[in-house]
Structures are given as structure tokens and as C-alpha cells.
Amino acid sequence: MKITNINVRRTFTEGKLKALISITIDNCLAIHEIKIIQGETRLFVAMPNRMDANGVFRDIVHPIGSDARNAFEELIISAYENHMRIKAECETVTI
């Protein structure tokens, strides 16, 4: 299983929420509303979730196991950081 596309759909400058991401897996499954959150010491990925009847947020979809989670997180955060670098470079270009 491979992430075949990562799309930074929206970025935010205020607050801990930094971006909303969509990914495609094996060119056949899309997952939307993945969040990049600024934690106390680092960025982390929050998978799509919803609140259950007890008021607890539960992931709707998520990687199984720490190896898969780490691989997803590394690729997604890397794509976000690359997107932000390119965005910053474009903003500094003057014509």
C-alpha cells in the first residue's frame, strides 16, 4: 500500500490547526480531512474523526500500528513542509 498523492487543501496561519490534507492511496482510495496540528514540540497528523454519543472523538480511518502511522505522518508532514516552503518562495518573488 502506497500513498500516491498528497494534496494540501488549505493552510492556516492562526491557531494550532496548520493544514487540511487529502491523500490518495494506490490511486484508488481517497482520504480527506486529515489535519496537521502544531503540538507542544512538533507537528503531528490527526486522522479524520467524529464525536461519538459519549462526546469522545474517534478516528473514522487510521493506520494500523505504529510503523504505518509513522510512515503516513512522515510523508504527510514532509509534503506540508514542502508546500509551505514553495508558498514562501513564491511570496518573496517580486516582478
List pLDDT tens digits, range 64-84.
999 999 999 999 999 999 999
Domain harbouring 55, CATH code = 3.30.1120.40
User: Which cell numbers in the block locate residue 70?
Assistant: 509513522
User: Which cell numbers in the block locate residue 71?
Assistant: 510512515
Q: Which domain holds residue 69?
A: 3-92
Question: Considering its fold, how many domains does the chain have in total?
Answer: 1
Kindly report the pTM of this predicted structure: 0.87
What is the residue whose three cell numbers read 480531512?
33
**Closest to 69 in 3D by CA, of 3, 4, 12, 11:** 3
List pLDDT tens digits, range 5-59.
999 999 999 999 999 999 999 999 999 999 999 999 999 999 999 999 999 999 9
